Structure 1
């Protein structure tokens, strides 16, 4: 049986006079783009430009809404009510959808960013608010969430298609949460270690969560962080290496199906 995987990357994070990442080149080596919606990063011009790039390279377009924390790049937690989370999601998805419609394209998926993503992985109420917002605004979109998390479960409860996301360049805790970025070993810099972890998750369904411990994990889509200094190199090599191993690298929408 053919194994399928989507490769996604967080893009469109430049704003104003500040340029982040190498979107134009990375876009050539991924299948899905998570585009910042202006709160943690991005701005209207960048959103428009990134959507245009995705269309030119036949890359699936995703909304990447985050917390309203430009200074902290959306990576600092905030205390929010369910209604506030819902409204943040609707506002940002709606903004990106305006540009998507103007380009004659389609919103393929929604993936929360940073602290909001990590909060939704464990907090059922936040996860439910996000899933309800996606269901209300774009019910055909796939909800990307940390593999096995509350967000994935909330999406299923709302009748959404969901994708279990795994991370190429991040280490994992025993409960399958991501190692906090404050930890010195949270981000993997060595590509050989990255591809070893990716192949384990994609082909064997396991990830190392301790020195001698492996934990089962489901992988539908792999994230490469656009702000990682080696994002372009990782994306190029990973696409090739997975294909050589017989893995079909394609948009999540081409193989994700609803499950009970």
Structure 2
């Protein structure tokens, strides 16, 4: 085998796209956009603090509305029509907790996706949240609630990206649009906006229902919680202990989630 052919094979392996793990050649195209890159180290550290404070405030407001809290705690047992009513009320509480202008919201059983956040980085709008609870009702009726909390969180991020000059969020939204169709499971879910929104929603679900309602496909392990409440893959710790090798170490730790999802 010639030296040229060996180098060609090595280059193919280096740039081969993996559909599950994080891909360095993808993420270096916009380092500010991804939570695994050194350029997002401070964002990850700040998120670990602010997400929990803001989620706790959301939970505080929710607990002040005992009838709604009871419905939320029994959400899985509610018929689809009642879930839709609860989703609209939870949306209002989250908007209040986040202190944002409400994005447009559509809870529609005819919508083709389970959830989606539509946004424009160039105008003054706060995005649009789409939820179809029917899509996940049979597989896991709690998922629509988690997705609503997640997608509404994006509206708060969008405001910070456009009006508070948060470049880690701005670049994440930008990369999400520019790299659409090219991102693996882990690339997409370690975009700063996706990482942070899943951390926010998963924390709330954990606090409401405990570890019994762990949803293995809702974000990577960097946005999910162990039974003791610790983060399964703590990116703040990785950035401190594995400087320069965060993505590689993350991929090693993500093998467990890949095995569970197969």
Q: TM-score, normalised by structure 1?
A: 0.29
Q: Which has the higher strand share?
A: 1
Q: Which has the higher helix share?
A: 2
Q: TM-score, normalised by structure 2?
A: 0.29
